[in-house]
Amino acid sequence: MIIESLMLQMKLFLQDDMNIVIEHTEILDKDNDKVILKDYTSMIGVGGKLNLMVVISYQNSLLNELVSLFMDGEEVDPQEEEEIKESVAGEVVNTIMGLALPTFPNRGKGVTITPPITINDASNIAKHKNSKIITAIITTQFGELSVSAIGPDDIIK
């Protein structure tokens, strides 16, 4: 349920707002022990009535295209490039969560959201013993991203 909502919002964001062509989508419906991260990763914690983590991980080529679109084609100073990429990655995960929240159980009421954090120096994120990881893969003309939900089985599916 959560992963489907997150994937739908990500697809709509990429297609409708960013005009990025989606070539393929897939939900990996098996329980993974960890999320394999791509070049750039942002995540948000969801608390309150829900307890889960949402992770969006981008191939560098796709994030570069998103940065270009966010910057409206303006040149990015090489000294600011990393900071801008992190900012865009965080803004995207914030946007997707904001759009998906009304589709969460109880329409998202009683849910808290942490500010997004970006991690670039990890290769994976492992789950806790009682949690489940479900990942959706979205392939675009500019590269791939993954959207993962980590939390209780009855909530994320």
User: Would you tell me the crossing angle of helices 2-12 and 81-100 to the nearest 10 degrees?
Assistant: 120
- Gap between the Cα atoms of 27 and 83, Å rounded: 30
Q: Are 126 and 34 in contact (CB under 8 A)?
A: yes
Check whether 155 has a pLDDT greater than 80.
no
Please give the average per-residue pLDDT across 103-129, as a whole number: 78
- Domains delineated in the chain: 2-156 (3.40.1550.10)
At 133, list the tokens. 């990881």
Question: pTM of the entire structure?
Answer: 0.89
pLDDT (tens digit per residue) in 37-52: 899 999 999 888 788 8
State which amino acid sits at residue 130: N
- Gap between the Cα atoms of 117 and 60, Å rounded: 17
